[in-house]
Amino acid sequence: MKNHFLNIADFTPHQLTTFLDRAQHWTDALNNNAPGAGDLLKDKVILTLFFENSTRTRTSFEIAAHRFGARVVNWDVKSSSMSKDESFLDTIQTLGAMKPDAVIIRSSEYNAPYFVSTKLDCPVINAGDSHRAHPTQALLDALTIRQNKGHIEGLNIAICGDVAHSRVAGSNFQMLSKLGANIRIIAPEFLMPEKMPAPNIQTFTDMDKGLQDCDVIMMLRIQKERMDTSQIPDDATYFKDYGLTRSRLALAKDNVVVMHPGPMNRGVEIAEDIPDDPKVSLILKQVENGVPARMAVLEWALSYQTQRAAA
């Protein structure tokens, strides 16, 4: 059985906590300028397959791999034979025949990482599955919260905005509910998920009510490329009703923190200045944590020594 990293739901709370502990270990190592494992994945070749654009996820996977001495091959959909009508399956089987040691995949096709894991003979890591799952983002988000608050259990965490089309939200619901947080969704009716993704989630269509008593606020952009845009109000109207402003922030707890997986649309879901305020914003910390969180996933997926530690 290969160590595929496909969904948060595949792991127990204990395993997830072990991933967080390993991610914290790599955070500390990077902060001390002593990664201490420059050759853990030496001679491994990791293939990234991004069928969708990415700034943070692909780069941080790549840097994480380099921190372990692995080599990364970035396959590019635009210059591939898929532009000559080669099928997805033929492309995957072709790339698999070159025997990469691991594959990291992002696709807008529902369940593509799982499908690929059934076709390849190496660990497959989900770097974004349609509107459904983005498990390494949930890992780095949980790491960021735990570093700031010391724990996750019992925190009031609001996920706000376009929850219906967000794979980040999908994986965070699983992660944060497994780790014992009190989760709220704040969204207009048309951006609420059709089915509640985890038990005991509170929902609010009124942002001012939903923010009360929150420890953590996670904002999401409207994912226009994943929806019929006819229902979306103009930016100013959306900001008036669901934008995170200073006055709304004041409704939450005094030590509330603000998160956003990026890419952000300032002035639409979040006021221009909030992301840059180091007293409340953890947004760049999330990006920074992308590297150690993905190091924890790569070592689990690829390194024999640490498989036992995370088992």
- Give the nearest distance from C-beta 85 to ligand NCD in angstroms: 26
Q: How far is C-alpha 77 from the geometric centre of its chain's CA atoms?
A: 22
The single residue among 261, 275, 302, 310 that binds ligand NCD, judged by CB under 6 A, is 261
Q: How far is C-alpha 262 from the geometric centre of its chain's CA atoms?
A: 10
In the window 107-136, what residues touch ligand NCD (CB under 6 A)?
A: 128, 134
Give yes or no for a contact between 92 and 120, defined as CB atoms under 8 angstroms apart.
yes
- Give the nearest distance from C-beta 186 to ligand NCD in angstroms: 17
- Record the tokens describing residue 18, joined without a space: 């072990």
Specify the residue, 95 or 219, whose C-beta has the smaller distance to ligand NCD.
Answer: 219
Residue type, 34: A
Q: What sign results for the dihedral spanned by CA atoms 123, 127, 131, 133? A: positive
> Could you tell me which residues are beta bridge partners of residue 129?
107, 133
The single residue among 91, 262, 265, 288 that binds ligand NCD, judged by CB under 6 A, is 262
Taking CB under 6 A as the binding criterion, the range among 65-73, 109-117, 118-126, 259-267 that sits at the site for ligand NCD is 259-267
- Does 137 bind ligand NCD (CB under 6 A)? Our answer is yes
Query: What is the C-alpha to C-alpha distance for residues 252 and 9, in angstroms, rounded to an integer?
Result: 29
Query: What is the C-alpha to C-alpha distance for residues 105 and 6, in angstroms, rounded to an integer?
Result: 10
- Does 171 bind ligand NCD (CB under 6 A)? Our answer is no
Shortest CA distance to 299 belongs to which of 62, 65, 59, 82? 65
Please state, in angstroms and as integers, the Cα–Cα distance from residue 302 to each residue in 22, 24, 37, 142, 297, following that order: 14, 19, 13, 22, 8
Query: What is the C-alpha to C-alpha distance for residues 46 and 42, in angstroms, rounded to an integer?
Result: 11
Taking CB under 6 A as the binding criterion, the range among 18-26, 211-219, 234-242, 260-268 that sits at the site for ligand NCD is 260-268
- Does 223 bind ligand NCD (CB under 6 A)? Our answer is yes
Query: What is the C-alpha to C-alpha distance for residues 265 and 253, in angstroms, rounded to an integer?
Result: 24
- Does 66 bind ligand NCD (CB under 6 A)? Our answer is no
- Give the nearest distance from C-beta 169 to ligand NCD in angstroms: 9
Query: What is the C-alpha to C-alpha distance for residues 37 and 69, in angstroms, rounded to an integer?
Result: 8
The count of chain residues that interact with ligand NCD, using the rule CB under 6 A, is: 12
Taking CB under 6 A as the binding criterion, the range among 7-15, 27-35, 202-210, 258-266 that sits at the site for ligand NCD is 258-266
Which residue minimizes CB distance to ligand NCD? 261
- Give the nearest distance from C-beta 209 to ligand NCD in angstroms: 25
Specify the residue, 161 or 182, whose C-beta has the smaller distance to ligand NCD.
Answer: 161
Q: Indicate the length of the chain as a whole number.
A: 311
Shortest CA distance to 166 belongs to which of 193, 139, 140, 190? 193
- Does 56 bind ligand NCD (CB under 6 A)? Our answer is yes
Specify the residue, 138 or 271, whose C-beta has the smaller distance to ligand NCD.
Answer: 138
- Does 172 bind ligand NCD (CB under 6 A)? Our answer is no
H/E stretch holding 136 reads: helix 135-149
The single residue among 58, 132, 167, 184 that binds ligand NCD, judged by CB under 6 A, is 167
- Does 168 bind ligand NCD (CB under 6 A)? Our answer is yes
- Dmax (CA) of the chain: 56
- Does 57 bind ligand NCD (CB under 6 A)? Our answer is yes
- Give the nearest distance from C-beta 276 to ligand NCD in angstroms: 18
- Does 221 bind ligand NCD (CB under 6 A)? Our answer is yes
Residues that bind ligand NCD (CB under 6 A): 56-57, 128, 134, 137, 167-168, 221, 223, 261-263
